[in-house]
Amino acid sequence: MKKVWKWLTRILVVGVLLVVGVVLVAGWMARRYLTPEAVVEAVEGELNLRMDLAGLDWKMAGMPANLVLHGVQLGERDQWAGTPLEGRPEMADPAIEANEVRVAVGLSGLLRKRVEVKEFVLVEPSVRMVMETEEHALGSELVASEKLSGKS
């Protein structure tokens, strides 16, 4: 009976070490591949807008893991979209601002270099609303022109 308990204890210890290892590897990959520049580049590549980001943090302790974006600003696309964050001037009139954006992500996706969003929370958002005429289709200006035409 002692041998059975010894083996069960060993299996449990190995299982716990594997789980801790997976969390550590996912955290390392997330910090390495998801930088503020990478997040801004991905958003600006998918949407027809300019994004500014003050910084980001990872909170890997809970399940799911949380990506916290600080100082998020979204506004009309201008000549600074697509340029490095360091050289950009401050956005003149952002349409959306948030002190923080918390994104809960799945660890399994991070191991495949993908962000699988489980939850999306805006903290202290500020949204500027503009009334459009009927000639403009709602949201058509937000999607990048390549996405509208079917090219990707």
Segment 70-107, tens digit of pLDDT:
999 988 888 888 888 888 888 888 888 999 998 887 77
Q: Token pair for residue 12?
A: 């449990």
Which CA distances in Å does 117 have to 5, 82, 135? 40, 24, 33
Q: Kindly tell me if the per-residue pLDDT of 152 is higher than 50.
A: no
Q: Quick check: 65 and 26 in contact, CB under 8 A?
A: yes
pLDDT at 29: 65
Cis amide linkage into residue 125, ω under 30° from 0:
no
pLDDT of 148 reads 47
Specify the pTM. 0.64
Q: Which of 50, 97, 44 is nearest to 78 (CA)?
A: 50
Give the count of beta carbons closer than 10 Å to the beta carbon of residue 72: 23
